[in-house]
A and B are shown apart, each in its own frame.
Chain A
């Protein structure tokens, strides 16, 4: 079972924060198919948030086919987001580390690197940008 944590300073909508946290847990393998999400009542109580907000987040995850609600039982994970196996990620990470070192040696600041990465992501994943 995961526990939701809200970023109080974030401008991101509360329900979006819940959706993002579930997706992150799916990506890193903290949640796998069959796992149950916390009950709406428990999330509402522990975070002191409106239960409709939790329902909205779970509905969105359901629409994306990631979870399914079983009436009277709870909400369960149906799919996974862990895409590339960890071994591939290690290789990608190695490439990235080498590239970041080149950028640093070329005199780029961390902010320059972030900006460059973000514009590249935007150009390479044109549709996901709208959603984020």
Chain B
């Protein structure tokens, strides 16, 4: 007991030492549907340390994108943020600001790139015009400098800047649009960037080069990045910390290599075993059993992973485990830590 509490103390100190770009506490998001209220995100605490890349992994429908939207206070109906706080830079609470203040922050301080970048570009205006629109709506005085900076970024991203600025979105390929999306996220010097499945639609080679560019820019500009994906490969390659999301809750978090080399939650273990890998024994790979969580899963009081868990006990059905420390920065939400299947 004393050991555990002293470990906790250490962690508290460590967390305080590192500045958080975003510190979200107790986030709850609920979707109202004809079948009842579905908690898409439940009691999630998440910290994005300044200048680091955090990866969030989850199946489709696990609520990972909703969490990002909640952090930006941009959840749309029928979703609703029930409670929580999102502290930016240890100062203001994103969930309490006025809409105008929020709008100023989104884009200027927080940049975001979505999965379908083509849907976030205006089909009727050239890319260059859209940069000017963005600048005007954020009261940028020197629009000429903005365009110059946009060009520089596009060049960095390996694009022909003049051509891109003069094109409509349909004239660009998927990979180019995704890069344009990244440029838009960075052009106002945002220091926090959310990338929501932003490389999923890309080809292998363009994905690799976009990831490489993100890595470079992050180092150079000390960006804080939250990377959301269902592809564990992308996240494992890029992020320093990793959050495993299941049915609206974080079930495991920690340093990436730590979690991957030594996964403790049965879901994390199953997920790692279930991905097609380029290395290792192919016969040891096994698909994850059971079906993805549905609305019935959310209503039970016990552990959300109970149905699919190979090491469940009766206790798991009655109570839901909390996220608890098992190492320096490694946390798991499971009663059966240490039990192997």
Is the pairing of A and B real?
no
Footprint of A on B, CB under 8 Å? none
